[in-house]
């Protein structure tokens, strides 16, 4: 089950998700800080990968291509915004 309203408690930014993409390995903090949430700018460092999903806020990002429990990632500060 995926929450579609993730929010980062570190940068207080909505977590965007992009189906069928992963992030290029050259992505860094400043890239997301300067380009979120504009897809047209983010696309420069996105790679098409069917079945994958790219997640990002302004301070963290992940590429997921298999069932993953994001709550086990101690570096992420993402919480579901649904009530």
Range of the domain at 57: 6-62
pLDDT of residue 11: 93
Is 1 a member of any domain? no
- What Rg do the C-alpha atoms of the chain give, in angstroms? 12
* Segment holding 46, helix H or strand E: strand 46-56
Give Cα 29 to chain centroid, integer Å: 12
pLDDT averaged over every residue in the chain: 90
The answer, yes or no, to whether residue 6 has pLDDT greater than 80, is yes
State the total domains in the chain: 1
pLDDT over 60 at 83, yes or no: no
78 falls within a domain: no
Q: Decide if 30 is inside a domain.
A: yes
In angstroms, the CA 15 to CA 83 distance is 16
Q: Does 42 score more than 80 pLDDT? A: yes
Confirm whether 73 is domain-assigned.
Answer: no
Q: Is 31 a domain residue? A: yes
Residue 69 and residue 12: Cα distance in Å, rounded? Answer: 21
pLDDT class for 82, splitting at 50, 70, 90?
low
Query: Is residue 27 domain-resident?
Result: yes
Q: Is residue 68 part of a domain?
A: no
Q: pTM here?
A: 0.86
């Amino acid at each position: 089950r995926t929450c579609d309203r993730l929010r980062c408690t570190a940068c207080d930014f909505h977590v965007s998700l992009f189906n069928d993409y992963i992030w290029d390995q050259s992505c860094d903090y400043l890239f997301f800080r300067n380009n979120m949430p504009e897809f047209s700018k983010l696309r420069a460092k996105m790679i098409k990968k069917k079945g994958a999903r790219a997640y990002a806020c302004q301070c963290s990002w992940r590429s997921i291509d298999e069932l993953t429990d994001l709550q086990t990632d101690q570096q992420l500060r993402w919480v579901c915004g649904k009530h």
